[in-house]
Amino acid sequence: MEIRSLRQFKRQELRNLFDQEREEWERQLYWDYCEPQHVIAAMIDVGSLPGFVALQAGRPVAYAFYVEVARKGLLGGCFASKLAAGEGAEVCLLEASVAALREDPEIDRIESQFINFREWPIARFFAGKGFRQFDRCFMVRDCQLRHSPRHPVAAGLKQLSLSDLDEMAKLTLDTYASVIDRKVTYHYQSLAGCMDFLSNLVFRPGCGNFLPEASYSARDLGTNELMGYVVTSRISPQDGHIPQIAVAPAHQGKGLGTELLGRSVRYLGLNGYQRVSLTVTESNLAALELYLRFGFSVHFRFPAFVWQREGLPEG
């Protein structure tokens, strides 16, 4: 197997790989991956996306890419086609990617949350490289399934506005201060990271196309303080996704999370969507139990991995 730099390729040379990858996203996650893939392909065409391609008999059979931001390396994807024999393609690509990031003295942390579609011992690979593992769940719910709110919620709920982003970032930082997800992604570890994360949800297609009409804020009726919010996106004509929901610690346990979920799912159901999905860290028991009570079920499990350069705090 030959491993070459992703920067030596154009999208046309990887077309068969891209076609198979889109099919897997749609088949396993109900996700139209066209727009995220278009962004990836555009970066490949201009040579700005680092990564590697595996070739067998001169034909590309797998590829991996990563990005570098704020002294962090993010493994964005590793996809192997049906033509890739055994598990060797993934191992070779990730070996090269992890080595390139570790050799860069500007990189202090490496994160991986990409969806792994093929069965191979990915956990063993990352454990051997000194990564910590965090198990994640991709959960799905029927939008037509009714729910009954637990209690009336004393809050003012309305559609999200872009003017809410600053307050949402602050609330997100406070909410995740003692939640396991803070260890899974660097975004939750600083106000700037939270703002960057929320901006990506709103302005970029990585987690679907932002649906402001199905995204809501909850504010205190007296002080107008932001109490919680939910962000909803469109991932296919039939499927919605909830990439972020947060309730301020002082307002948790009062039914506000259920009400925000209900508003989002109700909008999707009334507008022809069939399913809604979200992801959660399995050890975040409070969030997992909320979603299970609300009618979500685990559809797909996948591991996330984090490596921190020795001597540096995990955050």
Task: Return d(Cα 117, Cα 241) in angstroms, integer.
Answer: 19
Is the pLDDT confidence value at 289 over 70?
yes
Residue 53 bridge partners (DSSP):
4, 63
Task: Specify the range with the lowest mean pLDDT, choosing from 21-30, 33-42, 90-99, 151-160.
Answer: 151-160
Tens-digit pLDDT profile for residues 251-286: 998 889 999 999 999 999 999 999 999 999 999 999
Q: Any residues with CB less than 8 A from the CB of 218 and at least 6 apart, and which? A: 153, 155, 156, 157, 226, 227, 228, 229, 247, 251, 256, 259, 260
Lowest mean pLDDT among 27-31, 37-41, 119-123, 259-263: 119-123
Matching CATH number, 2-130, of 3.40.47.10, 3.30.70.1400, 3.40.630.10, 3.40.630.30: 3.40.630.30
How far out from the chain centre does Cα 36 lie?
12
At 310, list the tokens.
């020795």
Query: What digits encode the pLDDT tens for the residues 66-100?
Result: 999 989 999 999 999 988 866 689 999 999 999 99
> 140-302: same fold as 2-130?
yes
pLDDT tens profile 164-208: 999 999 999 999 999 999 999 999 999 999 999 999 999 998 899
Residue ranges of the domains in the chain? Answer: 2-130, 140-302
Helix (H, G, I), strand (E, B), or coil: what is residue 249?
A: helix
Is the pLDDT confidence value at 118 over 70?
yes
Question: What's residue 154's pLDDT?
Answer: 82
The amino acid occupying position 292 is: L
Query: For 140-302, which CATH class?
Result: alpha beta
Q: By CB neighbour count within 10 A (0-12 exposed, 13-18 middle, 19+ buried), where does 249 fall?
A: middle
Alpha helices in 46-164 (DSSP H): 88-102, 122-128
Rounded distance between C-alpha atoms, residue 296 and residue 294, angstroms: 6
